[in-house]
Amino acid sequence: MNVTFIGLGIMGRRMAANLLDNPDVTLTVCNRSLGPVAELEAAGARAADDWTTAVRDADVVFTMLASPDVVEAVAFGDGGFVAAMRDGALWVDCSTVNPSFSRRMAERTREHGRRFADAPVAGTRQPAEEGTLTFLVGGDSADYQRLEPLLRSMGEKILHVGDTGQGASFKMLVNAMLAQSMAVYSETALLGEKLGFSRDFLMQTLPGLPVSAPFLAGKAGLIRQGDYPPQFPLEWMHKDLHLLALTAYEHDQPMHLANLAKELYAGAKQAGRGRDDFAAIFEYLDNG
């Protein structure tokens, strides 16, 4: 199968590298910055200079891009790749976007005679590298069957959660809980320090309690070190919370706590923490 991967950032280049281990895949990669392209080309991928060349022979095209604006520009802007895809080829968007945007992309893609599925991921840099991501797939059953073997090269849990747009919908729920859990944990631990417990003690004990989300154990390590290399950049989390708020507005659903979290992450981004891992919300709540 000819597969193209567009968008080789923190997540995309690791996901694409795992596709190279699939013996049934011939992989082409394309990215604005050329460093990751050269790295994957050295590992056996084919490099393309532009989006349209990258997708011309593809059966499946994956995108992993930063925001809805970027996705739309790469897919349908000047030199956009969708028009250059083969009839019947499948575009799989793994980017975190809002559901209404994902459905709009699906409609425009089908107008060109191509297929579309949304398959955002749950997981950060390390699961992407290890091939243990969770994929949340929205699309029809035939496209899912075609897609699943490729996703198995990049993830260990594949959930077909419904029709087009439902993958993006479920990702909104996942990131809502992720962002709020990190903020609640940080605020609680900071109070614990004021009550006389050491940071080391709190970081060792709180993540192991039944009330704590499993991902917090890894984030506690970053807090103990006082260093936040971006596994999931804080600015992306703020973007995702903005998309969550937009989605809730479209469905007339109040999101009191999630919107408060959005403003906390906005403040941390404004304070210069945007490129840090989103666990740096701890430092922002501690120091402002």
Counting residues of the chain whose pLDDT is more than 70, the rounded percentage is 100
Report percent pLDDT > 90 for the chain: 99
Alpha-helix runs per DSSP H in 61-195: 68-76, 99-111, 125-130, 141-152, 166-194
Q: Are residues 204 and 151 in the same domain?
A: no
DSSP 3-state assignment of 121? strand
| CATH code, domain carrying 203 | 1.10.1040.10
* pLDDT at position 118: 98
Tell me the C-alpha distance between 78 and 71, whole Å: 12
Mean pLDDT on 85-93: 97
151-189 pLDDT, tens per residue? 999 999 999 999 999 999 999 999 999 999 999 999 999
pLDDT of amino acid 180: 98
Residue 288 has pLDDT above 80, yes or no: no
pTM: 0.95
Mean pLDDT of all residues in the chain?
A: 97
What pLDDT sits at residue 240? 98
Write out the residue range of the structural domain in which residue 45 sits: 2-162
Bridge partners of residue 6, in order along the sequence: 30, 63
> Does 193 lie in the same domain as 142?
no
Whether 59 and 157 map to the same domain: the answer is yes
84 Ramachandran zone, left/alpha/beta (phi>0; psi -120 to 50): alpha
Residue with tokens 């709190």: 202
